[in-house]
Structure 1
């Protein structure tokens, strides 16, 4: 059974895309915690940060920079949760990009 993010990658579930390439997809979070809240995922399924091959990360870092440029963001926060006790809810590696282009980003409650 595919996870929700794999279904988004396949186009089975709609998303509001920011940008994509052959390996990664960026789309708006449906429950934003900030004025800008984008999820950045590899199109290939990796459960979490610890189980993702190291060679994915340099490519993902470049894609994240492209997302920030696309959104015209210079200040933003990147968050990834690794495992249930860290707050991971969807077990497909993803990075949250959150920003407030109109002012300072406040830190959300973590517990």
Structure 2
């Protein structure tokens, strides 16, 4: 079954597009964190950003950069933040969010962790990193 984003790519549902090329599409998030919140997606339906082929990933980042530079010129903000969450729609996507304060990046409530939990988790992840 097609994702919401694939339906946008196929023009089965409307979107507020801001940029497009043969491989990628950028459009305004209809549930924005801030004015100008944009989603950049590959047109090919791939669930997770880390599942993209290396070339496509790099090309998506270049496309996203172009959109971010345009966004900076259009929406008054201190920065354009970038986030990849991927829980809302099972289709790789990058959020570009104009930021004036850190709270502008807040997608949901935060959980609390103790200092020890943070340390244990960091050590566990670190032990599996292969550079």
**TM-score w.r.t. length of structure 1:** 0.83
Asked if structure 2 preserves the Cα contact closer than 8 Å seen for 1:99 and 1:105, the reply is: no
More helix by share: 2
CA distance in 2, matches of 1:90, 1:49: 12
The higher-RCO structure (CA 8 Å, 6+ apart) is 1
Structure-2-length-normalised TM-score? 0.71
Q: Which residue of 2 aligns with 1:85?
A: none
- Counterpart of 2:80 in structure 1 is 76
Query: 1:66 offset after TM fit, Å?
Result: 1.3
Which consecutive unaligned segments of at least 5 residues does structure 2 have? Answer: 111-131
- Would you say 1:44 and 2:48 are equivalent positions? no
| Shift of residue 18, structure 1, vs aligned partner | 0.6
